[in-house]
Amino acid sequence: MSVTREEAENAMRDMDQARTQSQELYGYQEASPYFLIWGVLWIVAAVLTTLISGRDGLIWLTVDAVGLVVCTYICVVSARRYSGANGFVYGLRYGATAVAYALFIGMALAVFAPVSGEQILTFIVMLISVTYVVAGLWFGLRYAVVGLVIGVLAAVAFFFVPAYVTLIAAGLGGGTLILTGLWLRRA
């Protein structure tokens, strides 16, 4: 029994599609803990800022620092599972990415000088939103869906119910991240 060229090409194309889909689904599962952690932290920070007035910056800075440490640790541990992967390098990349975003946010806030906490929160949420959309263009559509949902929620909250933008961002944004983490885990 001989295989035709067309049959061989079809089989190779099918294998390539299966490999691509498998990598995408595996990537979703690997991303799941990060979404869960940041979703919970987002809710915690927003609730704390609602309960403790005047300490918004300190609360978010502390919660973000905890999240970065936990996520960097997960990144390092996950990288060690791959043969030849250097967990330290992956941890540095994750940390450096976080520092780059922090510097960008700091400079953008210094240049544009928003006047309210709601503006700052919405700006950061929109930045996170576009990051997920771009990740979705490269690594899997589910990230883009999450980015769009978070961005729309932030815009609606900011423009239509600005007095409650912090709580809406916490409940819906953090909730979206948690649900996404669960969704990706099942991928």
pLDDT at 53: 82
pLDDT per residue over 69-126, tens digit each?
A: 898 888 877 777 765 566 677 777 777 888 888 889 889 888 988 778 788 888 888 8
Top mean pLDDT of 17-21, 54-58, 62-66 is at: 62-66
Q: Which of 36-45, 48-57, 145-154 has the lowest mean pLDDT?
A: 48-57
Given this model, what pLDDT does residue 85 score? 61
Give the integer Cα–Cα distance in Å for 64 and 79.
Answer: 22
User: Of 2-6, 43-47, 86-90, 135-139, where does mean pLDDT reach its minimum?
Assistant: 86-90
Map out the domains of the chain as residue ranges.
5-185
- Region 133-159: what's the mean pLDDT? 89
In whole angstroms, give the CA distance from residue 159 to residue 128. 18
Residue percentage of the chain with pLDDT more than 90: 11
